[in-house]
Structures are given as structure tokens and as C-alpha cells.
Amino acid sequence: MNVVSLLPSATEICYALGIEPVGVSHECDVPPEATDHPSINYAHVDPTASSGEIDAQVLEAEAEHGGVYGIDIDALDRVDPDLIVTQGICDVCAVDEVLVADAIEEIEADPEVLTTDPHSVGDVLDDIRTVGAATGREERAAELVTDLEARIERVRAATAEVKERPEVAILDWLDPVMVAGHWMPEIVEWAGGEYGLADHGQRSTPREWEQIQEYDPDVLIAAPCGFDLEQTAENRTDLIERPGWADLHAVETGRVYAMDGHHYVNRPGPRLVDTLEHLAGVLHPDVVDAPPEDVATAFAGPELRTL
């Protein structure tokens, strides 16, 4: 079966199930061999720009092109897909199902389209089962889900009796400020924290900086969508130059962190369980093993650390 994956999380699921896609998105980079396959889509924005510039480019792309992404029709036609995995969760994060439907009309193949739309960890586990069913890998999918569920339960059991549960804020964009939603509220709670800025399954939404100040989290994590740690560090002035930054409780107590949002917060695949384990280790290192040193290392001064 020729499988095309148009989002990084689906590519990770495919490889975890023993499926090597014939085509991927331009952002698929895990495992590393995924980059060897042809990119089926492209972006109308510069992913290396600052968070404010990217926000402006997104608005311009939507006005000029009708969206952030385009599909290389010739590349899609050449890989002769039987199945295309895409998403309906966010047209800024990856190619959506509408763009795929239009592209299919222009190629010779008539592939099945599998659309993922996860808003919780449970939805992600369901997506693994769905991809497994669509590709004849049901047994492997069931084994993977069982393993992930066991790891989740180990963390939840470790943090269940924690009495001091810090209030946590995770920002998945910095200019404008956006609070991470979807699966992150439950992950924070499983990790032993409180998440008062978004409900379970709620979409990530822009917030006024004053709302963050009023919430005054015990732990603040910057995890911009699509940014790795280096790019997050380059954009740290979007936070540290805001009024009242130095007065936040998280800053005063040295509990401001950066997390690789591109890989660990905004990618709804199997590694969300890694995210849970890392986060629990940072929130409660006395009851959960802290992340390894190559994951949790200082950058940009003592008030910002990386996960």
C-alpha cells in the first residue's frame, strides 16, 4: 500500500506501525529517514521568521492563497497514493482535508483519505488504531496503544498523591500570546499540575498578556508551534520584554522553561507520552525521574530553561 502522510504526527504513527510512507510533508522529520521521501506539500510562510512575522505571513497567505499550504500535484501523482493521511484540526498547522480533496481531482490515482482531528490524548490513541485498521496493522496498533497507556498510567500513579500541584501555563505562540489547548490541559494534570487557562480539548486560543499576568503561574513554559529550542530562544524577547515579566511568580522562582513545541507539544502522535514524562519530571522531580541532562539544560539565563 502506498501511503502518503501530510503531517508529522501521522508520519510518526506510520513508522511506529512499521509503515514507510512513499510521500510526506515538508515538516516530517521523525524518524530521520522520513526526510528521504519526497515532500508532497509546501508552505507560503517562512518558518525561520520571528513569531510576529510568521503571524503576519499567515494572514497574508490566507488572503492571497486561501491558506498557508499548497500541494505539489506532480509529486503527489508520481507516488501513486492508495491512502492519504491528513488532518482537520488546524489549517495553519498542516495541510487540511479540503486542500487534499481538491488535489485528488487532479491526479490519476483515487486514494482513500483518512482525516485525523485529535483534541485529546485519547483521540491520538484512537488515531493510531484507525491508521492501523486502514493499513492492515491492527495488531501492531493495539500493541503500541497498550504500551503507551501503560506509560501514561505509570506517571499518573506516581503523581496521584502529590499534594503541591503547581499552576502551569504553556504558551504555544508568543506574538500574539496563545495558550496551548487540546491535549495539553490533561497532560499537565496527569503530570501533577493545575491548568487553569484552558479546558480539556479546548482549542489553542490567543490571550491578552494581562490574562497571563492575572493567572500568574507557578510554572511557565514557552513552546511555540513549529519552533525548536533554538528558535524559541531567538524569540524569547517576545516574552521577557513584556511589561510585568519580571514580576511573574514563575520568573521570580526560576520556573520558566522552554519546550520544543515543534516535537513535543504541538505534534499529536506517540511522543505526547514522552511529553508527559518529561513534564512530570520537571514539575515533580522528587517523585518522577527528571528529564536527562541533554533534554533539560539551561539557556538564555537562569530564568529560562529547556525541556
The H or E element that residue 12 is part of is: helix 8-16
The pTM of this model reads 0.89
Reading the block at residue 27, the C-alpha cell is 515538516
Q: What is the pLDDT of residue 290?
A: 62
Q: What is the pLDDT along the chain (307 residues), one digit of tens a residue?
A: 999 999 999 999 999 999 999 999 999 999 999 999 999 998 777 777 887 888 787 777 677 766 778 899 999 999 999 999 998 755 445 566 778 888 999 999 999 999 999 999 999 999 999 999 999 999 999 999 999 999 999 999 999 989 999 999 999 999 999 999 999 999 999 999 999 999 998 988 899 999 999 999 999 999 998 888 888 888 888 998 999 999 999 999 888 888 888 899 999 999 999 999 989 988 998 888 765 544 443 333 344 455 5
Q: Number of H helices and number of E strands within the chain?
A: 13, 11
Between strands 205-206 and 177-179, the pairing is: antiparallel
Give the separation between CA 155 and CA 275, rounded to whole angstroms.
Answer: 11
Q: Cβ(170)–Cβ(193) under 8 Å?
A: no
Longest Cα separation, the chain: 60
Taking the alpha carbons at both ends of the chain, their separation in whole angstroms is: 37
CA distance 148 to 75: 34
